[in-house]
Amino acid sequence: MLQILSRKHSLRLSREARACIENDGIVLMHLARGLLFSANRIGARIWQGLDKGHSIGGIAAAISQEYGIRVDISEQDCIEFCQDLCDSGLAAVRES
């Protein structure tokens, strides 16, 4: 069943996920599926926030402040990226 994400959600990263973070972005691998994904610095920043247990809204607020962009735009970008992570099996919604 498709979960609609919001700023309030937190995600847990899959045990099957491996990440390599560099200055210009992140490369993610899903071990069981053998698939590689890549993202820019913002994607890496989102991944790091999720890894620390932060909510999507918390991550978006930090990115908004760091990069001087509107928080609503940051939230939408974070939600879309997190939805892609969930759809690919790299993350799932953390149950409260």
The pLDDT > 90 percentage for the chain reads: 92
Q: Domain range for residue 24?
A: 15-90
Residue 41 is assigned to a structural domain of this protein: yes
Q: Is residue 34 part of a domain?
A: yes
pLDDT of res. 42: 95
Q: Which pLDDT band, with edges at 50, 70 and 90, does 24 fall under? A: very high
25 closest CA partner among 45, 11, 49:
45
* DSSP per-residue letters across 21-40: EETTEEEEEETTTTEEEEE-
Average pLDDT across the chain, whole number: 94
The yes-or-no verdict on residue 1 having pLDDT over 60 is: no
The enclosing domain of 29 has a CATH number of: 1.10.10
pTM of the model: 0.92
